Structure 1
Amino acid sequence: MRLSLATEPAYANRPNEDFIGTTSDAVVLLDGAGTPAGLKTGCSHGVAWYAHTLGSTLLAAVTQSSGALTEILAESIKNVASLHDFTCDLVHAGSPSATVSMVRRTGDVLEWLVLADSAVVLDTDTAEPTVICDDRVNQIGSRYRALMDSLPGGSPEHAEAFRGYVETLRDHRNRDGGFWVASVDPLAAEQALTGAVPVDQVRAVALLSDGATRLVDRFALVSWRQLLDILDQDGPDELICRVRQAEHSDPNSSRWPRGKVHDDATAALWKFP
């Protein structure tokens, strides 16, 4: 395995709600769904705790089990829920949640799983990379973000609109016709996007939180191919640096409307000989 990775919180004085971990044959990335100030979650532990606990549970499970990735995810969600079901209100609409991306090499096959909007990008023999991202949350969110996107990022008005946006999305979370994330219901794992490809057809695979993919899918400053080139030639730290440069160039979210001016960003590149 030749793996490079980097992760950085949105702000130095706040916890990183992303998780990245590796074994000799797997990479696991989670992006905790941040809760705006003023919204309750029913959980005393917080989003960072949830993402890091589920991430480490998944990493241990994917090492110990040869079962399907969806089964591993479902069991891990169940196990983490059992850690705080007596202390927290797990039926609360805002219970901590996270995206999940996993890649595992089993023999000559590379398997992947994506739940919600963190991305797996396969650099294969084709001209363009294969991008796997579950964008149902963005499809739902596009219906409700007009007010938030019309307001200056960082302003009290924008913060209030962002809270309303997140609260509205909670009504669509983990239900038919909505979007699916890892939280307290193991059945969410069945909604993940999954697939496999022969390892000899893959030059590299990238795992990215949406704080890292925004250089492509929100800022449109590079293509997916160019993003892979940055990871390969300059490393994940450079990719995150470019994301930060773009964010700082637009402090009021006027050029690129977004809920978070800055976001936790995580990127990993697994290269194959």
Structure 2
Amino acid sequence: MGTTVESAQLAAGSDEDRLVVTDGAVIVLDGATAHDPAMPSAGAYVDFLAADLARTIGESSSLADILARSIARAVDVLGIEPGAAPSSTVALVRIEPDVVDVLVLGDSSVIVGLRTGAVDVHTDDRLPRLQLPEADLFRRFLADGQGYSGRHQKVLQELQVAERARRNRPDGYWIAEADPRAAEHALRVRYPRDQVEWIVAATDGAFDLVPTLGVSWPEVANMSTRQLEHLLRDVHIWEAEVDPDGQALPRAKRHDDKAVAVVRIADRTES
């Protein structure tokens, strides 16, 4: 297909990111950490979605239809129900002979570098746009220097309860969970293949933190797997040594799982 893929992952405590590279596609999932003890871990859910999507992403259907069917199968196999199920962000990239297909659901992101030099960033910001009071409290709590304490955990639990009440609703936000209809609301974009030079797909643990190191996405797009591994370790060190209490960059955990994949597409006009 004239593509090369480099990728790296760095797990934190939850280890619920999944990154799968298939022939012509990249799948990136970020299972939501269950801060609310009433909610199950996302591990089994993202394992199932990753394996099922890897098996079906090469089909001729749209990425949204493929994702919807994977969610439906997860419901059947795992016996989960809307509102009481684990959830995950989804970033899918499929390289076809003439087209590059991108799907984003939740706050994992896909960055597309065009041969014109333009860089398009695709990320789903519908959840933060809700401006939930609990989310504002969570950020202020950390920005005020109160750190990752027992009170912080209680604030996160309250936030997840508030988010769950708005999950997969027209007046809320959409995420892979137990309602296959969520796939219809994913952000989708198609590019003529010849216009695309590179693609980066990343979970928020990488996407939100890489810019703090002063590294641009075109620079990331030129990295080897070993360099990507070093980059994620540098992010981890920044979290631990520069901002251990989440004061400069408020985030749910000191260390989140991190996954990043780089797809480089050969220019077929060159010989």
8 A Cα contact 1:134 1:193, kept in partner:
yes
Equivalent residues in 2 for 1:41-190 (5 A)?
41=39, 43=40, 46-63=41-58, 65-85=59-79, 88=80, 90-91=81-82, 93-141=83-131, 143-151=133-141, 152-190=146-184
Q: Provide the rounded CA distance (Å) in 1 between the counterparts of 2:4 and 2:196.
A: 13
8 A Cα contact 1:141 1:169, kept in partner:
no
Q: CA deviation at 1:196?
A: 0.9
Matched, 1:263 2:253: no
Q: Provide the rounded CA distance (Å) in 2 between the counterparts of 1:8 and 1:49.
A: 19
Equivalent residues in 2 for 1:20-35 (5 A)?
20-35=19-34
8 A Cα contact 2:134 2:158, kept in partner:
no
Q: CA RMSD in A?
A: 1.8
Secondary structure of 2:157's aligned partner = helix
> CA offsets per residue over residues 231-257 of structure 1, 9 Å max, x none?
413532133123212211111112222
Of the three residues 246, 252, 261, the one matched with 1:253 is: 246
1:40 corresponding residue in structure 2? 38
2:198 corresponding residue in structure 1? 204
Secondary structure of 1:271's aligned partner = strand
Q: Which runs of 4+ in 1 moved over 6 A?
A: none
Percent of paired sites with the same residue? 31
Structure 2 vs 1, CA of residues 246 and 147 (structure 1 numbering), >3 Å: closer, same or farther?
same
- Letter aligned with residue 9 of structure 2: T
> CA offsets per residue over residues 4-42 of structure 1, 9 Å max, x none?
11111123xx4x101111111111111101111x5212x
> CA offsets per residue over residues 199-237 of structure 1, 9 Å max, x none?
111111010000001125xx64436xx133034135321
Q: Provide the rounded CA distance (Å) in 2 between the counterparts of 1:192 and 1:232.
A: 28
Structure 2 vs 1, CA of residues 258 and 142 (structure 1 numbering), >3 Å: closer, same or farther?
farther
2:9 corresponding residue in structure 1? 7
Q: Provide the rounded CA distance (Å) in 1 between the counterparts of 2:68 and 2:54.
A: 13
2:265 corresponding residue in structure 1? 272
> CA offsets per residue over residues 102-146 of structure 1, 9 Å max, x none?
111121111111111110110112334100111111222554323
Q: Provide the rounded CA distance (Å) in 1 between the counterparts of 2:214 and 2:126.
A: 23
Of the three residues 233, 245, 254, the one matched with 1:241 is: 233
> CA offsets per residue over residues 55-85 of structure 1, 9 Å max, x none?
110110113x111111101111001110022
Q: Which runs of 5+ in 1 are unaligned?
A: none
8 A Cα contact 1:227 1:239, kept in partner:
no
8 A Cα contact 2:86 2:177, kept in partner:
yes
Secondary structure of 2:148's aligned partner = coil
Q: Provide the rounded CA distance (Å) in 1 between the counterparts of 2:168 and 2:259.
A: 24
Q: CA deviation at 1:272?
A: 1.1
Q: Provide the rounded CA distance (Å) in 2 between the counterparts of 1:120 and 1:142.
A: 25
Q: How many aligned residue pairs are there? A: 257
Q: Which runs of 5+ in 2 are unaligned?
A: 267-271
Q: Provide the rounded CA distance (Å) in 1 between the counterparts of 2:200 and 2:176.
A: 21
1:232 corresponding residue in structure 2? 222
Structure 2 vs 1, CA of residues 142 and 262 (structure 1 numbering), >3 Å: closer, same or farther?
farther
